[in-house]
Amino acid sequence: MASVNPEKKIRVFLAEDHILVRQGFRRLLEDDPRIEVVGEASTGLSAIEQCAKIKPEVVVMDLLMPEIGGLEATAEILKANADTKVLILSMYSNPAYVRKAIEVGAKGYILKDAIDVDLPQAVVAVAQGGAFMSPAISNLVLEGLKTGSMQSSAQDPYERLTLREKEVLQLIAQGKSNKEIAALLDISINTVAVHRARLMDTLGFHRTAELVLYAVKKGIIQSE
């Protein structure tokens, strides 16, 4: 396991869409003398773009992010810089989310209700080359391995969607129209329609309501 130079702070990027929550996380992290927060993002796309430039050592990523989800953003960040370590923050202890986080390359998964105790400790652990999970998550993983519920999702049709199709799916599920999606992603309305048709075909759906329900079940958006 790599060691952290005590004189060199761990450069951390914080991705969380709620500004007050993000400010609280930042204070919590910077209270630890080993950690320096070098950037923030309120959307998944912004996190991808900024991390490509900043190249932080650790990214603290909320699971549910606007524009593109935390897991998809994690995959893109690691594609651009494999040395970055990603720590997922979530309100959800669902084993499927944990499995997906591990599959895309996250080195940690911690629950927000355990944040006060776990966050700085988790950042240091993953920066040193280790892994970190909240105790409740560790128990779920062990149980999932015993029961087989942590099996690979390689056959999941969602994994066959392109990054752009995943972006469109999330925005459709958030209630955005084709025109609004085109403006947000800086693409034509016709291109949005093509992406919508392709993702519905891949997932086997015919109605927007089915996409919304699917997105909720997958944790892509949060149900009200």
Q: Express each pLDDT in 51-72 by its tens digit.
A: 999 999 999 999 888 878 898 8
In a domain? residue 5: no
Q: Judge if pTM exceeds 0.85.
A: no
Cβ-based neighbours of 155, under 8 Å, separated by 6 or more: none
Question: What band does 216 get if pLDDT is binned at 50, 70 and 90?
Answer: confident
pLDDT at 116 over 80: no
For the chain, the average pLDDT equals 84
183 and 129 co-located in one domain: no
Predicted confidence at residue 97, as pLDDT, reads: 79
Task: Let me know if 223 is exposed, middle or buried by CB neighbors in 10 A (0-12, 13-18, 19+).
Answer: exposed
In a domain? residue 111: yes
Neighbour tally for 82: CB within 10 Å: 9
pLDDT at 94 over 70: yes
Residue 195: C-alpha distances to residues 58, 69, 78, 175, 199 (Å): 32, 17, 24, 16, 6
More confident residue, 164 or 49: 49
Residue range(s) defining the domain that contains residue 168:
157-218
CATH of the domain at 177: 1.10.10.10
Helix then strand then coil, in percent of the chain rounded to 5, is 55, 15, 30
pLDDT at 152 over 80: no
65 and 109 co-located in one domain: yes
Question: What band does 184 get if pLDDT is binned at 50, 70 and 90?
Answer: confident
180 and 104 co-located in one domain: no
Considering 69-83, 91-105, 157-171, the range whose residues carry the highest mean pLDDT is: 69-83
54 and 165 co-located in one domain: no
**Contact present, 36 and 11 (Cβ < 8 Å):** yes
Q: Where are the alpha helices (DSSP H) in 31-177?
A: 44-54, 70-80, 95-104, 115-127, 135-147, 163-173
